[in-house]
Amino acid sequence: MRRLFDEDGLKRLDDIVQPGMLCVFDFDGTLSPIVPQPDSAALPPEVRERLLTLATLAPVAILTGRSLADIRKRLGFEPHYVIGNHGLEGMPGWEGRSKSYALACAAWRSALELALNDKQRFDPGIRLEDKAYSLSVHYRMARNHAQTEQRLRTLFATLSPPPRVIEGKCVFSLMPEDAAHKGGALEELMRQAGASTAIYVGDDVTDEDVFRLRRSDVLTVRIEPHPDTAAEFYLPAMPDIVQLLDELVRRLARQSQAISNRTPA
């Protein structure tokens, strides 16, 4: 795995910044720091400022595990595309399956709430986040993470209908088995936008569906290196997203100016 700001990474960035480029970002851990309480997450002002500039030069998309209702109030600006629930919410045609997704989510929540009442078996630090069409189970505040993970996995195996379980940083996301994932959402966004190239930046296991696409026209970047990631490049830490946004703005502005200079008055 290579560092994006090394020579090879910057060359790849130069190659991917083309007219019609689409810029796609995860939210938590990518544009916003991971916080103990997910409700406290917010877009830092310095990141928002750069995203606003970037959005004047290229289409910008937010592709997040949060629900649409939740993520919109945290951005402070209107991207070209906002996709929630890991690609499940907001993509064309998703409304036709929303009722079945909501029913599955409600069934999981009822079963989990009943089981989690057993405080002898389950840590009181476990918290459920109902996203209407998916369910997140947070355990960052649990005392014993390893034990909590094991017991939650055993519990998830008893749920009906069986969920697709996506593991994140001290969180499990429970998704309908036939629901879209971030990789499919990214490709559909490129089709909608007519994008010639794209960059995708994420930080977690849920982003690996994009990283595994391995498309030459998609540059994938992970926040923090990881031995098991399929991402092409990495940024050392979340605050480095500011430098990446600056690099994108600089290249896109230079390209826009060059095109303008070639256009007859």
Active site residues: 26
Decide: helix, strand or coil at residue 222.
Answer: strand
Which tokens sit at 101? 């997704």
Q: Is the dihedral of CA 250, 251, 254, 255 positive or negative?
A: negative
H or E, element range at 261: helix 241-262
Helical ranges in 80-228 per DSSP H: 95-116, 145-156, 182-193, 208-211
Determine how many CB atoms are found less than 10 A away from the CB of residue 191.
9
> 3-class SS at 219?
strand
Separation CA 61–CA 86 (nearest Å):
13
